[in-house]
């Protein structure tokens, strides 16, 4: 019965997705995750790994086996719905434990409810190939305050979190306990309608991925949809702050979220990596080849740099539908005195803005094209922002030698110069397979 309810839920959520103009989004993303070189299927458990099969829907066994797991254990969940009680979370306290759907079909293995769906409290934990939905707080909380590293979140579908979908938390920033070197890849995070909040926080208190004080996180090849409240406001779909360092954000597709990607947010405080006296809220970020679209609902800024040192914002495509009244009339911003940024070869239909309080240093702003029009793209309404032949963005960029590949994996530059935006126009790519979720429906 619960399995059927689960399937019904998925069918309904797809219908909702379609009504917002995301044609078969979930399935196409899954297909890309199965086939692309950016999102290959997760490798099977290694030799020497202990594997335990969890029977369909047996949440008591799942809780027990997560709790009793020895290091190097893979828990393989059979297809089904695993319902947590409101005070329960899957607390992973043993290093090198993997929690994954057995079939590889993330839509068929569903963990629902609970306080958090999953809490990660130790090193090298992997969560993959499953759906997590309707937690009171977080779909996955990575507790940096325990000091850990090596979290891997891969090919998961996260739905309707009470607060953040992936929360990387921290404690006292002077104590050196953080969650470092994590990966969030090839996953889909979305609200089926809007964030609803919790009994202690408003609907606007949400993010897709929220990294506090972590170092070396990679957020790539994910899709974020509708990270927003009914009134609109919500946190950025991807946020790295509290003096987070070396964050890499690549090839994500962000659609109809209130805010897109933020490196840094506010002044440092005691939660910041190093304590309240540090200068920055983020350092050394790379935001490259992302696609941020506001097609059906109003949106705030797509890419922000706040108290951010050495941000590199390269080759992103941002398009905000003109028929919708948005909260701002710019796409990319940099702000606050310590911020330094390189903003190159982005393609937008809104301006790039230095905002007050102004940074002391001018950003290096080059090769961007900020007057994109729908006719430049193959099919904007279907989220296909590949350039069409003769689009003015082609060869409009400046040389950025270390931005070597576009969203498809095409080598840049093709032709005279790099193209502005996430797609490098390559005629032969019409015959290539989609290789990234951002390119998933296109060939």
Which stretches of the chain bind Ca ion, using CB under 5 A? Answer: 395, 406, 408, 410, 413-415, 419, 423-424, 429
- The distance of closest approach from Cβ of residue 81 to Ca ion in the complex, given in angstroms and rounded to an integer, is 39
Minimum Å gap between C-beta 416 and Ca ion is 6
Give the 3-state DSSP-derived string for 365-428, with helices as H, strands as E and coil as C.
Answer: EECCECCCCHHHEEEHHHCEEEECCCCCCCCCCCCCCCCCECCCCCECCCCCCCCCCCCCCCHH
The least distance separating Ca ion from the CB of residue 260, rounded to whole angstroms, comes to 21
Contact 376, 396 (CB under 8 A): no
**Of 304 and 408, CB closest to Ca ion:** 408
- The nearest distance, CB 443 to Ca ion, in angstroms, is 10
User: What's the closest the beta carbon of residue 188 comes to Ca ion, in angstroms?
Assistant: 22
Rounded to the nearest angstrom, the gap between the alpha carbon of residue 76 and the centroid of all alpha carbons in its chain is 25
Whether the CB-CB separation of 80 and 57 falls below 8 Å is answered with yes
The minimum distance between CB 48 and Ca ion, in angstroms, equals: 40
Residue 166 or 426: the one with the smaller Cβ distance to Ca ion is 426
Spatial CB neighbours of 50, under 8 Å, sequence gap ≥ 6: 70, 72, 73, 74
Longest alpha-carbon distance in the chain: 61
Nearest distance, CB of residue 346 and Ca ion, angstroms: 15
CA dihedral (324, 328, 334, 336) in degrees, to 10, reads -150
Q: Reading across the β-sheet that carries 98-101, which strands appear in turn?
A: 50-54, 73-77, 98-101, 126-128, 152-154, 183-185, 218-220, 248-250, 286-288, 311-314, 341-344, 364-366
Name the residue nearer to Ca ion (CB basis): 38 or 137. 38
For residues 10 and 400, which CB has a smaller minimum distance to Ca ion in the complex? Answer: 400
Report the residue number, 38 or 194, with the smaller CB distance to Ca ion: 38
Comparison of 107 and 408: residue with beta carbon closer to Ca ion: 408
As a residue count, the chain comes to 443
Q: Which is nearer to Ca ion, 358 or 443 (CB)?
A: 443
DSSP 46: P
CA-CA distance, 160 to 197, in Å (whole number)?
A: 10
Q: How near is the Cβ of 23 to Ca ion at its closest, in Å? A: 21
Query: Which C-beta is closer to Ca ion: that of 112 or that of 410?
Result: 410
**Contact, 126 vs 155, CB < 8 A?**
no
In angstroms, rounded to a whole number, what is the distance separating the alpha carbons of residues 312 and 288? 8
Q: How far is CA 94 from CA 42, 75, 98, in A?
A: 21, 12, 10
Indicate the residue among 52 and 395 with the shorter CB distance to Ca ion: 395
For residue 181, give both structure tokens: 């070197």
CB of 410 to Ca ion, least distance (A): 4
Closest distance to Ca ion from the beta carbon of 386 (Å): 6
d(Cα 169, Cα 151) in Å, to the nearest integer? 13
Would you say 375 or 430 has its CB closer to Ca ion? 430
Q: Which residues of 57-88 are buried (b: 16+ CB within 10 A; e: fewer)?
A: bbbeebbebbeebeebbbbbbbbbbbbbeeee
């Amino acid at each position: 019965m619960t399995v059927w309810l689960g399937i019904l839920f998925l069918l309904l959520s797809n219908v909702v997705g379609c009504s917002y103009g995301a044609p078969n989004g979930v399935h196409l993303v899954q297909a890309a995750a199965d086939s692309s070189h950016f999102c290959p299927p997760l490798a099977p458990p290694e030799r020497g790994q202990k594997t335990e099969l969890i029977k369909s829907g047996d949440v008591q066994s799942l809780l027990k086996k997560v709790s009793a797991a020895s290091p190097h254990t893979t828990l393989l969940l059979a297809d089904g719905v695993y319902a947590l009680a409101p005070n329960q979370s899957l607390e992973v306290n043993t290093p090198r434990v993997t929690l994954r759907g057995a079939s590889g079909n993330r839509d068929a293995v569903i963990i629902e409810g609970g306080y958090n769906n999953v809490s990660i409290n130790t090193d090298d934990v992997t969560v993959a190939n499953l759906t997590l939905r309707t937690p009171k707080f977080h779909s996955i909380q990575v507790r940096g305050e325990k000091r850990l590293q090596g979290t891997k979140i891969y090919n998961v579908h996260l739905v309707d979190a009470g607060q953040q979908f992936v929360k990387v938390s921290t404690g006292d920033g002077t104590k050196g306990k953080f969650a470092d070197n994590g990966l969030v890849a090839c996953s889909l995070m979305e609200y089926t309608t809007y964030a609803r909040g919790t009994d202690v926080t408003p609907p606007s208190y949400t993010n897709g991925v929220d990294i506090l004080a972590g170092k070396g996180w990679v957020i790539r090849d994910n899709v974020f949809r509708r990270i927003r409240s009914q009134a609109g406001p919500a946190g950025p779909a991807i946020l790295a702050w509290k003096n987070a360092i070396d964050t890499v954000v690549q090839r994500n597709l962000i659609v109809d979220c209130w805010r897109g990607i933020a490196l840094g947010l506010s002044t440092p405080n005691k939660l910041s990596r190093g304590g309240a006296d540090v200068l920055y809220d983020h350092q050394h970020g790379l935001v490259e080849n992302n696609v941020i679209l506001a097609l059906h609902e109003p949106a705030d800024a797509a890419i922000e740099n706040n108290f951010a040192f050495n941000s590199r914002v390269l080759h992103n495509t941002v398009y905000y539908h003109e028929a919708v009244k948005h909260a701002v009339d710019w796409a990319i911003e940099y702000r606050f005195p310590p911020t330094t940024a390189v903003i190159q070869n982005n393609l937008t239909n809104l301006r790039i803005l230095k905002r007050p309080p102004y940074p002391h240093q001018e950003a290096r702003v080059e090769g961007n094209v900020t007057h994109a029009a729908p006719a430049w793209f193959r099919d904007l309404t279907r989220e296909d922002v590949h350039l069409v032949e003769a689009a003015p963005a082609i060869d409009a960029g400046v040389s950025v030698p270390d931005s070597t590949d576009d969203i498809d994996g095409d080598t840049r530059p093709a032709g005279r110069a790099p193209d502005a935006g996430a797609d490098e126009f390559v005629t032969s790519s019409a015959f290539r397979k989609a290789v990234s979720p951002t390119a998933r429906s296109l060939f």
